[in-house]
Structure 1
Amino acid sequence: MKELINNLKGDKVIWTFVALLALFSFMPVFSASSNLAYIGQGTGNTISYLLKHLAHIFIGLLIIFGIHKVPFHYYRGISLFLLPVVWILLAITMIKGTVIAGANASRWIQIPFIGVSFQTSTVAAIVLFIFVARYLSKKREEEIDFKTSLIELWLPVFITLALILPANFSTASLIFLMVLMLTFVGQYPLKYLAYIIGFGIAALLLFILLAKAFPESRLFSRVETWKSRVENFSKNKPGEDDYQIEKAKIAIASGGIYGLGPGKSVQKHFLPQSSSDFIYAIIVEEYGLIGGFGVLLLYLLLFFRFVIAAHKANTVFGKLLVVGLGFPMIFQAMINMCVAVELLPVTGQTLPLISSGGSSIWMTCIALGIIINVTKKEEEIAQEISDKAKRDAALQKLIDKQLEDENNEENSISTDAETENYSIEDNSANPMNAVLNK
């Protein structure tokens, strides 16, 4: 175990927080998956769901370990190659997407012959953030031309968002906000950002108008759901998601300060997405406000560590990678918690590293692996500086020793010469020596 820990490079604090979140996730997932175990005349045995989650977490940790070995600057070129691939996957998802675990949106695509499903929008988000970080780091020393950036930066961004929006408004909105945040950090001109925000709002309004004009189209089938969710949330009216919100609020109220205890949740039997979208409500019910604030604190500490990692990065691309991949992870967690306590309308965002689901865990682990690699690079640079300082100190010590030896040798020669001169002078001054010399 000690040897394994020593092989983990990069920021050890980030590794620690990731391990804590992953370990904590087992109890809530094991408890909250009981309702899934009864679906379809199931036996109620949740062991299979626990083992499945264990496999997802284990594979996720292997992904982090593998990704953190790859130098992060390689992703500059990889993002250019993967972005068109992501567009193809998103287009296939729009046409042939499947419904998973009773979710009412076609957001997943199934890999043939393997039977594994994944949410393509999570892959698209990671690739897009890397692409944006690459563009901003490349243009950091140049004056950005708005017309050129429309083609090189914003056209790929809006193509990606347009392919995600019809099935997943919340993810498209989150990605757009995170891209705006990343471009702001990357010092993209503010006046140009204002134009982009205006264009984004106009594009969304156009999409809604087209949905009104063609209500029967499968492409616009989710628009009414978005509208009803926002209206129900703002006016506090009952809607299709009111059942889940009410059960989540009951779970949180039942938890109190100390909670009902691990595995003793009652509302897990009634919440349809208790192991994914509403797992935070189950956490508060079983572990109380102490457990809820503990999870919140872990995410905030992880966010703080991301800020430190971005500050320490010596390259602009490294800084932007940490911001672009780390901050959305924390914002997603905050959105999930806010939905559980009814501060936001239902969005369908999972709790990173805690909610069940393979693709969401794995995509989070890919992002974490890249971030850790950035910190690993800075750690290697610091180690190289430290090693160079040690070598310089040893060399200086050797030089000082050599100079000291040379000085001692010169002093010895000088002393011998003075002794010899003194002997000659002493002999010549003695009259008897003078007679003998004659």
Structure 2
Amino acid sequence: MQTLYNNIKGDRLIWAIVALMAILSFLPVYSAASNLAYKGDNGNTFGFFIKHFVHLFLGFAIMYGVHKIPYRYFKGLSLIMIPVTLVLLAITMLQGTTIDGANASRWIQIPIVGMSFQTSTLASVVLMVYVARYMSKVEDKVITFKSSILPLWMPVFLVLILILPANLSTSAIMFLMVIMLVFLGGYPIRYLAVIIGSGVLAFAMFVLIAKAFPDAMPNRVDTWMSRIENFSNPEVTEADYQIEKAKIAIASGGLGGLGPGKSIQKNFLPQSSSDFIFAIIIEEYGLIGGVIIMGMYMWLLFRIVLVSQKADTLFGKLLALGVGLPIIFQALINMAVAVELFPVTGQTLPLISSGGTSIWMTCLAIGIILSVSAKREEIKEQEDIELAEENPLEILSETI
């Protein structure tokens, strides 16, 4: 154990936060998955526990391996992974598979291991690394709109276009995070206004085309409009079923909750172990449990910003923020949906919800952040060694 601890680099508090969140996720996921077990797995709830454990174990293995890679290597890797990601997204969009009759075009099937993989989550991490690379590359140059169209915005819009038909919320979050990252990197605001306007216009055209040719993307635009209408219009006759059950779960929890495993709404709430896990947490652990979970994400945000501030290069600063802030933003959206502050989006609660792809890509992003912080530690250690070599008597006197 001591050897493992010595090999762990980077911000120790980030390691502690992530490990604690992973441990705390077991009880609510195990509890919420019970209805799925009784519906399709002959009541075998332990299988879901093992599955979640395997996902987390692999996630931490990814995080450990990635944090050992010097973060400067991610510049070149992003160039390689952008075309790979575009191919995977195209295959995923054209695949058109279904899972239990539902639209599963967000996932790509991997026949060798018999599992599915949500390519948009990988694309999100790769794209943010790519954007951080570009902004650090033009750090000391005059940025013009024309010069940035092909190397920066073309890959961004290609990725978003391939994700949009099946996953509006993810593409919208990615677009917002890219805008935020290039703004922090010093991209001119007047050009950002043009990009935002172009994005809104492209989305409007997509909606019009989808309405004109409904067979091409059945039910997607109608689903988005229905969710927004249910959220914005309290007089809708058929209220959104998921939100209603989530609100009942939250109201039932009160201050201290019903207790571990005693949730009632998990038997009625769809996606109770993933998209609406926050409602189950409040039902079983009360407002106290919900505040603790929110506080841990805020703590993680503080550490991510701290790692960014201490990074030795602009690429390191933008990289930590680029892959870290979407985690917090996704968590806030998930919690906002559960309490009806935001329309239903289908976003999971990072590191808490069940689901392999979400856990693995979140751990990949955190591994990158830890790699940035590990470099800072390495520089500090080197500075201490150099100081000791220059002033050996001073160091000796301090030791005595």
Q: TM-score range by the shorter chain?
A: over 0.9
1:56 corresponds to: 55
Correspondence 1:385-424 to 2 at 5 A: 385-394=383-392
**1:32 aligns to 2:27 (yes or no):** no
**Is this contact kept in 2: 1:232–1:239, CA < 8 A?**
no
Q: Which residue identity is paired with 1:70? A: I
TM-score relative to the length of structure 1: 0.88
Question: Which whole-Å deviations, capped at 9, do the CAs of 1:218-244 have from their partners, x for residues lacking one?
Answer: 3x6411111111111111255887111
SS in 2 for 1:251: helix
2:327 to 326, 329, 342: 329
Correspondence 1:123-272 to 2 at 5 A: 123-218=122-217, 221-238=219-236, 242-272=240-270
Question: Which whole-Å deviations, capped at 9, do the CAs of 1:358-393 have from their partners, x for residues lacking one?
Answer: 011000000010100000000000111111111111
2:304 corresponds to: 306
| Offset at residue 132 of structure 1 (A) | 0.2
**Identical amino acids, percent of aligned pairs:** 60
Going from structure 1 to structure 2, the CA distance change for 1:241 and 1:21 (only over 3 Å counts) comes to: farther
Q: Tell me, in whole angstroms, the C-alpha distance in 2 between the residues paired with 1:210 and 1:143.
A: 38
| Offset at residue 213 of structure 1 (A) | 1.3
Going from structure 1 to structure 2, the CA distance change for 1:127 and 1:189 (only over 3 Å counts) comes to: same
Question: Which whole-Å deviations, capped at 9, do the CAs of 1:377-433 have from their partners, x for residues lacking one?
Answer: 0000011111111111117899xxxxxxxxxxxxxxxxxxxxxxxxxxxxxxxxxxx
2:23 corresponds to: 23
**1:2 aligns to 2:2 (yes or no):** yes
Question: Which whole-Å deviations, capped at 9, do the CAs of 1:273-318 have from their partners, x for residues lacking one?
Answer: 0000000000000000000000000000000111111000010000
1:288 corresponds to: 286
Q: Which of structures 1 and 2 has the bigger CA Rg?
A: 1
**1:340 aligns to 2:338 (yes or no):** yes
**Is this contact kept in 2: 1:57–1:361, CA < 8 A?**
yes
Higher alpha-carbon deviation: 202-211 or 2-11: 2-11
Q: CA RMSD in A?
A: 1.6
Question: Which whole-Å deviations, capped at 9, do the CAs of 1:98-154 have from their partners, x for residues lacking one?
Answer: 344675442111112211211000011011001000000000100001111011100
Question: Which whole-Å deviations, capped at 9, do the CAs of 1:213-270 have from their partners, x for residues lacking one?
Answer: 112213x641111111111111125588711111100000000000000111000111
Q: Tell me, in whole angstroms, the C-alpha distance in 2 between the residues paired with 1:237 and 1:115.
A: 45
Q: Tell me, in whole angstroms, the C-alpha distance in 1 between the residues paired with 2:62 and 2:214.
A: 42
Going from structure 1 to structure 2, the CA distance change for 1:292 and 1:191 (only over 3 Å counts) comes to: same
Q: Tell me, in whole angstroms, the C-alpha distance in 1 between the residues paired with 2:275 and 2:101.
A: 12
Q: Which residue identity is paired with 1:308? A: L
**Is this contact kept in 1: 2:133–2:315, CA < 8 A?**
yes
SS in 1 for 2:346: coil
Structure with the larger RCO, 1 or 2 (CA within 8 Å, 6+ apart): 2
Q: Tell me, in whole angstroms, the C-alpha distance in 1 between the residues paired with 2:395 and 2:318.
A: 41
Going from structure 1 to structure 2, the CA distance change for 1:241 and 1:80 (only over 3 Å counts) comes to: farther
TM-score relative to the length of structure 2: 0.96
Q: Gapped runs of 5+ residues in structure 1?
A: 399-438
1:113 corresponds to: 112
Q: Tell me, in whole angstroms, the C-alpha distance in 1 between the residues paired with 2:10 and 2:237.
A: 47
SS in 2 for 1:272: coil
Q: Gapped runs of 5+ residues in structure 2?
A: none
**Is this contact kept in 2: 1:35–1:272, CA < 8 A?**
no
